[in-house]
């Protein structure tokens, strides 16, 4: 069923190749299917071409952490906090602040 969902998203993206929501949805589907290189491609494309799409920072950071790329995750969380503060996305800012502190060892994981 996830493959069907991914195929539908890929089909939609043909007519809307620059839609950040579609790129984000495709990235998360690839991640769920353990297609890590493709997930990274879509998430990193979002950071490069849609830097104000705030949800990307949390999820790409978590993927970096899963890949033992903690320093990259921390830098990404920092960038995300700057962006989310700029676009006044307080919820995303709070989530990023929490994972940033955890990644830096500043708070215990509850």
Burial (CB < 10 A; 0-12, 13-18, 19+), residue 37, is exposed
- Rounded distance, CA 42 to CA 97, Å? 23
Q: Is the pLDDT of residue 38 over 70?
A: yes
Q: Cα separation of 83 and 51, whole Å?
A: 8
Which tens digit of pLDDT belongs to each residue from 84-105? 999 999 999 999 999 999 999 9
Quote the number of domains for the chain. 2
Mark whether 78 and 101 lie in a shared domain.
yes
Phi-psi region of 34 (alpha: psi -120 to 50; beta: other; left: phi over 0): left
Q: List pLDDT tens digits, range 60-87.
A: 999 999 999 999 999 999 999 999 999 9
Of 48, 83, 77, the C-alpha closest to 60 is 77
Name the residue range of residue 45's domain: 1-50
CATH code where residue 59 lies: 1.25.40.10
**45 and 57 housed in the same domain:** no
Q: Are residues 27 and 67 in the same domain?
A: no
- Same domain, yes or no: 46 and 57: no
Report the predicted TM-score, pTM, of the whole model to 2 decimal places: 0.89
H-assigned helices in the chain = 2-15, 20-32, 36-49, 55-66, 70-86, 90-104
Q: Is 95 found in the same domain as 70?
A: yes
29, 71: one domain: no
């Amino acid at each position: 069923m996830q493959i069907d969902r991914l195929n539908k998203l890929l089909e939609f993206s043909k007519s809307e190749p620059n839609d950040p929501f579609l790129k984000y949805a495709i990235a998360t589907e690839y991640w769920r299917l353990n297609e890590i290189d493709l997930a990274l491609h879509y998430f990193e494309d979002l950071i490069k071409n849609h830097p104000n799409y705030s949800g990307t920072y949390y999820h790409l950071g978590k993927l970096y952490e899963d890949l033992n790329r903690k320093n990259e995750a921390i830098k990404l969380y920092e960038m995300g906090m700057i962006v989310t503060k700029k676009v006044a996305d307080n919820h995303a800012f709070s989530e990023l602040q929490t994972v940033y502190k955890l990644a830096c060892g500043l708070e215990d994981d509850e």
